[in-house]
Chains A and B, each alone.
Chain A
Amino acid sequence: MNELYQKHETEINEILSRYPENFKRSAIMPLLFLAQREKGFVPQEALAQIADITGVSETDVASVLGFYSLFQETPGGRYRIQVCTDLPCALRGSETYLKNLCEALGVKTGEITEDGLFSVEAVKCLAACHRAPMFQLQGDGEIKYYENQSVELTMQIIEGIRASVASEKEGKHG
C-alpha cells in the first residue's frame, strides 16, 4: 500500500472497520480529514492515495474534496478564524465584530496575517447562535469554538496562540 497508509496504518484500519467490507468508499471523508491534519490542506498526492485505499477513482475523491467546504485544497493561514455572520449572529452584532476584528489584525477577510499564522473568514451558522459573536478556530487538525466574543477577548486568544507558537519554535531550536 501507499505512503499515507503506511504512515497511519492503525488509524486507517480503524476507520475502514467502521464501514461494511464492500463499502470502503465511506472512508473517503475521514481519510480526507486525516490527510488534511498535517498541513491544513489536502496535498495533491493524497487524492491518489485515498483512491487507492478506498478502491475508487481519483476523480471520485476529488469530487468529494471539492464539494465540502471544510476540506481545503490550497494552503491558508495555519489557523483559520471563521466568524459566523449568519442571520441570528448578525442580529447580535457579529458583522460589526468581524469588521473590527479584521481591523485589529490588519487584514481583510480571506487574507493572511503578516506572521502567516491567521486568516479570517465569514462563515454560515455554526449552531452557536445564542452565544454570538462567536468564531471557530480551525488549525492543527482541530476545530474549536470560541463563544460570547468581543474583539478584546479574541485578541487575547490570538496573542496566546502566537506565544505558544513562538515557544514551540524556541523549543525546536533549543
Chain B
Amino acid sequence: MGNYILLRHRDVADIDQLDGYRKADGFAAFEKAIKTMTPAEVTLEVKNSGLRGRGGAGFPTGVKWGFLPNNIWPHYVVANADESEPGTFKDREIMESNPFQFLEGLMLASYAVQANTAYIYLRGEFWQLANHLNQKIKDLENAGLLGEKIKGSNYSLKIYTHLGAGAYICGEETALLESIEGKMGQPRLRPPFPAVEGLYAKPTLVNNVETLTNLPPILQHGADWYRTLGTEQSPGVKVFCLSGCIKNPGNYELPLGTTYRDLIYNYGGGIVEDRAIKAVMSAGASSDIVVANDHTLDTPLAYETCLERLNSPLGSASVIILDETVDMAWLVSKTVNFFKHESCGKCTPCRDGTFWMNNIAGRIVKGSGKPEDVDLLKDVALQMQGKCLCALGEFSTMAVVSAVDRFRPDFEKHVRS
C-alpha cells in the first residue's frame, strides 16, 4: 500500500482514469460487496471500523446507515459536496483528483442502504467539477459499473449531480434536501430526520464526500485494519485543511490524533515569517478561537480530545492558523460578516442576531464603536445561543464569544476614545 488512503492520487498518477483506478484495486471492494456480501454485512463492517462522519459532526457512519427504516421505499443517498465552510478545501481535491474512489464509496453506501438513485449535491461554484464527475459517471455506465443489474447482480444504481447556486446553508443536510427539491435552501424542523423522511419525504442518507471516500479501503482491507490508524474513539485518517498564517497551506492526510504541533510545525512548515502563533481554529469560521499555548499545541486532533482538552469540537478539521499580527476584532468582524451573509433568514434569532453582530463588530473595527460595544457584541451572541433553528446560528456565535473572552484587549484598543 502507498502512503495515502484517501489522497491516493499523490501515490498513483493515473488514478483519475478508470483504467488507472481499476489497476490500483479500484472497484474490488464494490464488486466484492455486491457479489458476496449482504447490505447488512456491509453496514456492519463500516460500523465496526468506527468511521465517523467527516462533514463536521463526527457521527458514526455505520450507525447512521442503520437508521433508515426497511418498510418505506425507495431510499435515497446524497453525497454532500457543498464544501462551503471557510477554510475547507478537501472534498474538492478528492473529487478532482481521486474521483473514482469517491464514487465507489457513494456506490457502497447506496448498496448498503439499497438505494437505486444517488445524488451528488455540489456547490454551484464547482461547475467544472460537476462536469468532470458527470464524465466519470458516464465512464462507469459504459463499463457496466453503474446502471441496471450491475455486473450480473440484482443491484441497480443511477448517480446524478445536482448543482447548488451559492448558499452556504445548503451544506446543512435538510437545507440541502430542500435545495434538491427545487426550493429555497432553508433548514427543516427536525424530527423527522432525513434517515426517516428525507428527499421527497423518503428515507435518505446524507454523507460527506470524504466520509464516502473512506469506504472502499475499509471494505477492501477490513474494519480491523482501519482501526490500526487513528485513536480508539476516532479511528482512521482525516484530511486536514491547513490555511491562514502558515508556510505551507494545503491538504494533509494524517491519522486522527496527530497533534496540532505536528500538523503546524512538522507538516505545515511553521508560521509565515517565523512569527509567533497566537490562536487556532479547527472548524473553519464555525470555530471557537483557541489560544495556541502548549496545552493546545500538544492536543491530538481527534473528535474526543478536542472536546475534552479544549472544549472545542474538531468539526471539519479546517485548521486556520492565526499568528501574532492577527487582530481578533478584525477576525470576528470577518466571521460574523460571513454568517450574516449566509443566514437563510428563516428564524429571527439568527437573522437578527447575525445582522446586529455584524453591525457592532463592523463599527468596533472601523473605530466608531463605544467601549460598551464589546460587551454588547458578546451579549448578542449569548442571547442567540440555544435559540436558533439550525446549527448555523450557533456557529456564528462561537468566534465572537471566545475571542471577546480570550482577546479582549484586541477589541478594546479600537473603542478607547
Q: Report whether chain A binds chain B.
A: yes
Chain A positions within 8 Å of B, measured between CB atoms, are 18, 20, 23, 25-30, 32-33, 54, 56, 60, 63-64, 67-71, 86-88, 90-92, 124-131, 136, 142-145
A168 to B93, CA, bound (A): 34
A145 to B338, CA, bound (A): 21
Q: Which positions 219-273 of chain B face chain A at CB distance < 8 Å?
A: 241-245, 249-251
Say yes or no: is B31 at the interface (Cβ < 8 Å to chain A).
no
Which of the residues A64, A91, A136, A144 comes within 8 Å of B183, measured between beta carbons? A64
Say yes or no: is B182 at the interface (Cβ < 8 Å to chain A).
yes
Chain B positions within 8 Å of A, measured between CB atoms, are 83-89, 91-92, 123-128, 160, 162-168, 179-185, 200, 241-245, 249-251, 284-285, 320, 322, 326, 331, 334-335, 338, 341-342, 344
Taking a contact as CB atoms under 8 Å apart, the answer to whether A130 and B128 are in contact is no
Which of the residues B126, B160, B181, B322 comes within 8 Å of A91, measured between beta carbons? B322
The 8 A-B residue pairs with the shortest CB-CB distance, nearest first, are A68-B165, A69-B166, A130-B249, A25-B182, A70-B166, A125-B86, A28-B182, A70-B165
Taking a contact as CB atoms under 8 Å apart, the answer to whether A129 and B163 are in contact is no
Q: How far is the CB of A55 from chain B (nearest CB, A)?
A: 11
A54 to B244, CA, bound (A): 44
B182 cross-chain contacts in A, Cβ below 8 A: 23, 25-29, 54, 56, 60, 64
B165 cross-chain contacts in A, Cβ below 8 A: 29, 32-33, 68-71
Query: Contacts A23-B181, A130-B250, A144-B128; is A68 near B166 (CB within 8 Å)?
Result: yes
A127 to B210, CA, bound (A): 14
A27 to B123, CA, bound (A): 16
Taking a contact as CB atoms under 8 Å apart, the answer to whether A86 and B338 are in contact is yes
A155 to B23, CA, bound (A): 43
A92 cross-chain contacts in B, Cβ below 8 A: 243-244, 249
A55 to B279, CA, bound (A): 52
A130 to B163, CA, bound (A): 23
A125 to B320, CA, bound (A): 13
Q: How far is the CB of B67 from chain A (nearest CB, A)?
A: 22
Which of the residues B124, B125, B180, B244 comes within 8 Å of A88, measured between beta carbons? B244
Query: Contacts A68-B164, A129-B89; is A124 near B184 (CB within 8 Å)?
Result: no
Taking a contact as CB atoms under 8 Å apart, the answer to whether B326 and A91 are in contact is yes
A27 cross-chain contacts in B, Cβ below 8 A: 182
Query: Contacts A23-B181, A88-B320, A91-B326; is A129 near B125 (CB within 8 Å)?
Result: no
Taking a contact as CB atoms under 8 Å apart, the answer to whether A90 and B87 are in contact is no
A20 to B199, CA, bound (A): 11
Query: Contacts A87-B320, A129-B249; is A29 near B243 (CB within 8 Å)?
Result: no
Which of the residues B179, B200, B241 comes within 8 Å of A130, measured between beta carbons? B241
A18 cross-chain contacts in B, Cβ below 8 A: 160, 162
Among A20, A28, A32, A91, residue most surrounded by chain B Cβ atoms (within 10 Å): A91
Q: How far is the CB of B323 from chain A (nearest CB, A)?
A: 9
A28 to B257, CA, bound (A): 44
14 contacts between A and B (CB under 8 A): A26-B181, A30-B162, A33-B163, A54-B182, A63-B183, A64-B183, A69-B165, A70-B165, A71-B165, A88-B86, A91-B320, A125-B87, A127-B88, A128-B89
A145 to B92, CA, bound (A): 12
Which of the residues B180, B184, B200, B335 comes within 8 Å of A67, measured between beta carbons? B184
Taking a contact as CB atoms under 8 Å apart, the answer to whether A86 and B128 are in contact is no
Which of the residues B87, B124, B180 comes within 8 Å of A87, measured between beta carbons? B87
Query: Contacts A29-B163, A32-B165, A124-B338; is A67 near B185 (CB within 8 Å)?
Result: yes
Among B85, B166, B250, B251, residue most surrounded by chain A Cβ atoms (within 10 Å): B166
Taking a contact as CB atoms under 8 Å apart, the answer to whether B334 and A87 are in contact is yes
A144 cross-chain contacts in B, Cβ below 8 A: 128
B245 cross-chain contacts in A, Cβ below 8 A: 91
B164 cross-chain contacts in A, Cβ below 8 A: 29, 68, 70
A126 cross-chain contacts in B, Cβ below 8 A: 125
Q: How far is the CB of B399 from chain A (nearest CB, A)?
A: 9
B184 cross-chain contacts in A, Cβ below 8 A: 63-64, 67
A32 to B183, CA, bound (A): 12
A88 cross-chain contacts in B, Cβ below 8 A: 86-87, 243-244, 320
A128 to B249, CA, bound (A): 10
Q: How far is the CB of B92 from chain A (nearest CB, A)?
A: 5
A143 to B181, CA, bound (A): 23
8 further A-B pairs in the complex, CB-CB below 8 A; given A18-B162, A68-B124, A92-B249: A67-B167, A68-B165, A69-B165, A125-B88, A127-B92, A129-B87, A130-B89, A142-B127
